[in-house]
Amino acid sequence: MRQYVIAGNWKMNTVLSRAEELAQEIKQGISQSLHSGVSVVVFPPSVFIHPVAQHVQGTRIKVGAQNCSNEPYGAFTGEISTDMITSVGGEYTLIGHSERRVIYKESNEVVAAKVKHVLTTSLTPVLCIGETLQERQSGQTWTVLQQQLDAVYTQIDKTSAENIIIAYEPVWAIGTGVAATKVEAQEAHNFIRKYVGNYIDSTNTMILYGGSVTADNADQLLLQPDINGALIGGASLKAETFLSIIATANKLAG
Ligand code: PGA
């Protein structure tokens, strides 16, 4: 049986009414016979985690944050702590999304500190990694991925490391409409699985693909042996397309 995580990253979109409506639409549209191997997680803006979590309470839909602090609490204006996320019903958090790395200059070290902290809590970290177009074109893809993984995995112990979900998101594929081909994605996922194998038994590590996933390309990506799910941005803002991708995973898991 194959397992999949289908995750929707709403980024800085929606307002309260739309966030609640979207949560409701996903809840209503999700198949009653969702395969036990399929997990569904939505990542609303942090101010909407609470209402969204309330809407989906008791369903198979889980909720997460798009980012969090590496500090537990204190004088860090504007930051969101893991306890805050948990206390409003969040169970996951993205860490190191490329928009955090590129726009907000989060270094590998900062990302590692966040993962390290999150692993001391009940939240599941979704560690995002991926190369830029320039890095791919100059043949640095594998080095960049190695550095991003080393930064994190050298800082944490083996047991907790097994709880990390990885999202491979080539920066050039995010929001561009140009997804990695199934061959490119599988190659990168296989590389990541093997490389993480230097630290832990990565056979069952969940590695999600992100970057212009749509209802049309989801099946060929999810069919790849090392792709365990999808982190979906734009296409997760419409319940219809997000539900269609969940249905694809449901079919393939069964
Ligand atoms: P996209 O975004 O699906 O809109 O390309 C993916 C992501 O940034 O997680």
Atom 1 in ligand 1: residue holding the nearest Cα = 233
Residue 169 catalytic?
yes
Atom of ligand 1 nearest to the CA of 232: 3
pLDDT confidence of residue 170: 98
Strands (E), the chain: 4-9, 38-43, 61-65, 92-95, 124-129, 165-168, 207-210, 229-232
* pTM, entire model: 0.98
Catalytic residue among 97, 99, 106, 189: 97
Distance 248 CA to ligand 1 centre (A): 18
pLDDT at residue number 199: 98
Mean per-residue pLDDT over the chain, rounded: 97
Mean pLDDT for 142-147 is 98
- What is the pLDDT at residue 235? 98
For atom 9 of ligand 1, which residue has the closest CA? 233
Residue-number span of the structural domain to which 102 is assigned: 4-253
Q: Is the dihedral of CA 157, 225, 254, 126 positive or negative?
A: positive
Considering 55, 135, 169, 189, which one is annotated as catalytic? 169
Closest residue by CA, ligand 1 atom 3: 233
Model confidence at 138, in pLDDT bands (50, 70, 90)?
very high
- Provide the pLDDT confidence category of residue 31 given band limits of 50, 70 and 90: confident
* Tally: H helices and E strands in the chain: 11, 8
Q: What is the mean pLDDT of residues 198-224?
A: 98
Q: What is the dihedral of CA 246, 248, 251, 254, to 10 degrees?
A: -60
pLDDT digits (tens, 9 = 90+) for 189-203: 999 999 999 999 999
Our CA angle for 83, 89, 95, nearest 5°, is 60
Q: Are 42 and 93 in contact (CB under 8 A)?
A: no
Q: How far apart, in whole angstroms, are the C-alpha atoms of residue 106 and residue 113? A: 11
The pLDDT assigned to 149 comes to 98
Task: Summarize the confidence of residues 212-236 as an average pLDDT.
Answer: 98
Tokens of 219: 């099946």
Domains in the chain: how many in total?
1
The CATH number for 212's domain is 3.20.20.70
